[in-house]
A and B are shown apart, each in its own frame.
Chain A
């Protein structure tokens, strides 16, 4: 009824290639932004920030990053946890070495450093593909975690082997450290998420994005039409790692505050983010958000229902919760292998014709 293209004429190619070509979609998007910036900060408390919003936003950044690599460029990676660790440790070293510099710059620089490491571990992708590449990136995962455990310089020779974030402020508000308010954490992550998602959308719809997708869909044909596979694959690794590095830096400094590398950035993290990308939808920015939301919110929701509403014992609920999430993932992938983003797309196509499909 409201969701239609009829009457919404595009008179320039710029209009035609915008992200949300349908007016209703555009307004819905602005409404979501308005709520996220204007309403949520006033309602948020520590529980909501730490259990729901902050992890969702940080995982969304990581999922966008991995989606660029796996979903857009078709290069499978199992090294996400390791790259997040690079971001976290780079951020930590920068925070302690240059305490007077803004944390925002540290986070972005940490992303840059991760991009460099990502390119290094992306080099094998020039010769190997698919499962074999996945195994090669798995090596990155184990090597990086080992490195951060083994070399005391990375954790500033602290006795526990952990890194913990000192307090840093932006515009007078603490965003890291013990005194951080829920609002500050949430807003800091939100600004980065919105900015990075917007950049990712621009990259994926333009020339670079087309190169990535060409390599993903048929690398031989891509090369024949003039795509240089070397620079294209490495640029995907670099940009993907940048996002993952930023996510790692935020995960450490804003969300957890203190990190032990094997616990926070182990292989489970790599799989978790890969699942987010697959369940959300490969090759879709929206899918990255949807997948992150699914895997962050579902356990919280189940826990609230099982423990809060049904009064089950906590340990039983925790086990059942794992089983339900696992079963849902399987059911979900059988029902819609292309993920939540595809469901969304189908719903939108149906909606265009509703209520008169003829």
Chain B
């Protein structure tokens, strides 16, 4: 882990990675007597693609939920943009610039694709109730402004033909893409992806990987993702945290992690003698 000093580092493909954006310090999360996460520390740097991997039940999703403010850890500190983050409601975390997608898609089924993506910008829309009710001046101007931004994201993710379709009617792969669009619409500093490729075929995985890389490249968004497909993780991410039974067992570049004996043991099992 000596690659990551406080000034950042340069990746193998030549991208500059900045300073620490988010730091988790000694996080412990308990549900009653069950320890989901035990004393885990790691950091996420600006502009980086950071993966969290581990076998089922390792506590990856719990970790993501801690980052997005859904769970409040019993011990440990969460630092974001150099400030310690107190206990916050999820909607307050969203306003800090952290957006996420869910493992089992959490879109608003009754709304159109366009409306779903527009909800991503709700935190930025400021017009008052009266102005909206009269649909005059501020509200309409604001709507148009944000619509333009949203249309850019729609173009970016190539979902133009379905923008007026209710989300409930879409196939799985497209729903995943719309969910990514909604998260992107918030222009997040940090984007959390919980298994973005779960249940996809090879072609859809390739598409999604391309979008993730493009997002990182074009918008400079920092991305933290959980994924089970090792090929994808090793190809996409700059650094990887490996968890097992709520503990951190490895942290480093994909190559370092691949050769880490603890990680190999956790994935392949180890003879108990």
* A-to-B contact residues, CB < 8 Å: 12-14, 17, 199, 202-203, 206-208, 210-211, 213-214, 216-218, 220-229, 235, 283
Contact = CB atoms under 8 A, between A and B. Distances in A.
Interface string B231-270: 0000000000000000000000000000000000000000
Closest 4 CB pairs of A and B: A226-B94, A221-B106, A217-B108, A226-B123
A211 B132 contact: no
Contacts of A226: 91, 94-95, 122-123, 186
A227 B68 CA distance: 14
Interface string B79-92: 00000000001110
A202 B144 contact: no
Interface in B61-113: 68, 70, 89-91, 94-95, 99-100, 102, 106-111
B132 A203 contact: yes
A13 B148 contact: yes
A121 B118 CA distance: 30
Given A199-B133, A226-B95, A206 B108 contact: no
Interface of B is mostly: helix
B132 A208 contact: yes
A218 B175 CA distance: 15
B50 interface: no
Interface of B: 68, 70, 89-91, 94-95, 99-100, 102, 106-111, 115, 118-120, 122-123, 125, 127, 129, 132-135, 139-140, 142-144, 147-148, 151, 182-183, 186
Contact of B132 (A13, A207, A217, A224): A207
Contacts of A13: 143-144, 147-148, 151
A210 B118 contact: yes
A199 B134 contact: yes
B91 A207 contact: no
Contacts of A225: 91, 94, 99, 119-120, 122-123, 182-183, 186
A161 to B, nearest CB: 37
Given A13-B147, A225-B99, A235 B107 contact: no
Nearest to A201: B135
Contacts of A235: 129
A199 to B, nearest CB: 5
Contacts of A229: 91
A204 to B, nearest CB: 10
B153 to A, nearest CB: 14
Contacts of B120: 225
Nearest to A202: B135
5 contacts: A202-B132, A203-B132, A206-B139, A218-B107, A235-B129
A342 to B, nearest CB: 12
Contact of B106 (A208, A220, A227, A228): A220
A228 B132 contact: no
Given A206-B135, A217-B111, A222 B119 contact: yes
A235 B128 CA distance: 12
A150 B110 CA distance: 43
A229 B94 CA distance: 13
B140 A14 contact: yes
A225 B120 CA distance: 6
A336 to B, nearest CB: 16
Contacts of A223: 89-91, 94
Contacts of A213: 108, 110-111, 115
A225 B148 CA distance: 19
